Structure 1
Amino acid sequence: MLSQRHTPSRSATTMSPETAPPLIAAQLNYLLSHFPLLVKIENKWSGSKYYPGILDRFTLVISYCLDVIKWDIIFDAESPMAAPDVIFGPDDENFQQFLVLRGEEEGDTKSPKKFLNDWNSRDPTQLMLLIQELRDQYMSFQKKRVAEVDDDRLKFEISTIVAREGIEMHMSSGVDKPEEVKFSVPLLDMNINKMVPGCPWKHKQKIYLQVIYPVEKKYVSTPSAPRLKLVSTTELKSIFSIDDVKLPTWLNGMCMAEYLPHLEESLENQVLEAVSLIDVRRRFIEALALQFGRPLEADPVFCRKATFLAASGVFTFLVHVLISTQFPKQQPELMLQSSQHFNSQGAPIKSLFLTEYPWSPRWEIPLMAERICDYLTDEALNFKRYCNEPQLQH
């Protein structure tokens, strides 16, 4: 059954999927492991009168249009072979009707109802396929809602980007909030994963432009610029931070189709530079190794950090080097950690982050490493005195 959500009573207990009946747990685990987009379980509770400790209901949080949608998935612990019910959020009250009409138009061949009617509880892929189809239908539902908005500017914007793949859109409205249409526009047709040797990322890294238009019910001669924001997949921050990107100015009368090419050209150049800086950081760590010896630990893929063992007389300590994606424009942060002194909790004594040392991004990399080594020759004595202060020992 597919229906609109009404807030159910829930147990406050949060437990792992293994506490669900085996057939239901298999569906959950497959969904969480294989769904191509971000999905997670927010709440779990039991709906069984006779087995209150068995979890058979949960709220699924699914990424959509750079935000999330939440649907309740209701299994029955007393009938684990049966298909689940899906309860949609209160803001999507017309989605169920849309599914019914779409199913009638398409002869029920792609209707989620067909998945439920043909449910095979012993096939662990069933829930994932159902959610995937529902999300696809939800995307069509939102496109239909946006297309029906009485706003000439929005209609024009959609007509200019209709052929662009991967765009998602969402219509938001309510009594206490203005009507807005949000677009999620994927940028850059380049495989960043393959550009990084030894890349550990499970999912393909992407950058999106979020574009939010207010719905104008009347003609406006010079419509205001939409709200713009860059969003990226989380792992991409290991080499490239979109927070450092300055968006091009949206000029009066501009449309999205005009704006995107300039943005993508600038972004592509910045991503290529960010990837090239991995090798610059690697050469910097190698230069430090010539000064301190082989690192105890080092980030071999992104080259963002390394740890070296150093000594000043009989005083031995670790040198942690944290390297920004903006290196060499931004100097590394250094932290010293004693291998001989511990605080009252038994943890090794560490320095604060050190950045007040000689640095110029224009220096050759070997000189950068040499200057750091010279600086730490003196700083090690200060750190040793700090470690021996009596208040740190009690």
Structure 2
Amino acid sequence: MVPSADRPDEVKFAVPLLDADFDFTKLVQGCPWRVPQKIHLQVIFPISRSSSYSSVPSAPRLKLISTPDLKSLFSVEDVKLPPWSNGMCLAEYLPALEESLNLLVVEASASIGARRRFIEALAPTFGRPIEADPIFCKRATVLSISGIFTFLVHFAIPLQFPKQQPVLTLQSSQHCNADGTPITSPPINDYPWSPRWDQAEMVERIYDFLTDECQNFKKFCSDAITQQK
């Protein structure tokens, strides 16, 4: 027998999730991934050193892990793991978890389409973006002009779009810091937003917001230049 002092404190293993032949690249047009993307459930069962065996084993520690590239599509950290009931075995636990993952995959695929339509909706109002993420559609940049003030608007579009609104960052084309770096605004996400609006209305509301906000940003840039002198 193995002395109790030499016994491991836990047993750790990983369980592959979703179908073995599930291909995430089919969800993303033009996907650059060359390595198959996988999701595993990391399971850590504690081992009691007590000489008496409990009739109900301790609940395991559970964590979802995935291949790094998959974070461009969705984050497994956003998945709320189902609760583990006393006396449950892994075979009972996995179906509910895989159902949640399948739903997340469907939502992630739909979100790419929604983000793409949002970027396409920028053109009629802001003009065609000068930069955009053509695959995962997570970012776009447009050039804007207010009078003689020229600036860029960077859109960081979250994976949870449209539930979460894009984060805007303004960047002056005419003002630089002492080190020559263009002056940028703090991230902006406190503008009017509703996930129920269509993409055209989302863009129009952002445009209306920036009509006033760009004046605040222009003053912010001028003040920054004054402080450098």
State the TM-score, normalizing by the size of structure 2.
0.92
Residues 309, 319 of structure 1: 8 Å contact kept: yes
Residues 142, 154 of structure 2: 8 Å contact kept: yes
Match of 2:104 in 1: 270
* Unpaired segments ≥5 residues, structure 1: 1-147, 151-172
* Unpaired segments ≥5 residues, structure 2: none
The separation in 1 between residues aligned to 2:158 and 2:176, in whole angstroms, is 29
- Matching residue's letter, 1:192: F
Displacement of 1:318 in angstroms is 0.3
Match of 2:31 in 1: 199
Displacement of 1:186 in angstroms is 1.1
Displacement of 1:393 in angstroms is 3.9
Match of 2:141 in 1: 307
Any residues of structure 2 matched to 1:193-232 within 5 Å, and which? 193-217=25-49, 218-232=52-66
Higher relative contact order (CA 8 A, sep 6+): 2
Match of 1:188 in 2: 18
The separation in 2 between residues aligned to 1:392 and 1:227, in whole angstroms, is 53
Any residues of structure 2 matched to 1:121-270 within 5 Å, and which? 179-189=9-19, 190-217=22-49, 218-270=52-104
Sequence identity (%)? 62
The separation in 2 between residues aligned to 1:382 and 1:392, in whole angstroms, is 17
Residue from 128, 152, 173 that aligns with 1:318: 152
- Matching residue's letter, 2:112: I
Match of 1:350 in 2: 184
The separation in 2 between residues aligned to 1:149 and 1:312, in whole angstroms, is 77
The separation in 2 between residues aligned to 1:346 and 1:321, in whole angstroms, is 23
- Matching residue's letter, 2:151: F
Displacement of 1:253 in angstroms is 1.0
Residues 317, 336 of structure 1: 8 Å contact kept: yes
The separation in 1 between residues aligned to 2:217 and 2:209, in whole angstroms, is 12
State the TM-score, normalizing by the size of structure 1.
0.54
The separation in 2 between residues aligned to 1:392 and 1:210, in whole angstroms, is 53
- When residues 183 and 174 of structure 1 are mapped into structure 2, their CA distance, relative to the original with a 3 A threshold, is farther
- Matching residue's letter, 2:75: S
Residues 344, 392 of structure 1: 8 Å contact kept: no
Any residues of structure 2 matched to 1:374-385 within 5 Å, and which? 374-385=208-219
What is the DSSP-based 3-state SS (H/G/I as helix, E as strand, rest coil) of the residue aligned with 1:388?
helix
Match of 1:368 in 2: 202
Any residues of structure 2 matched to 1:11-26 within 5 Å, and which? none
Instruction: Give the number of the structure whose alpha-carbon radius of gyration is greater.
Output: 1
The separation in 1 between residues aligned to 2:114 and 2:128, in whole angstroms, is 18
Residues 333, 355 of structure 1: 8 Å contact kept: yes
- Cα-Cα RMSD: 2.0
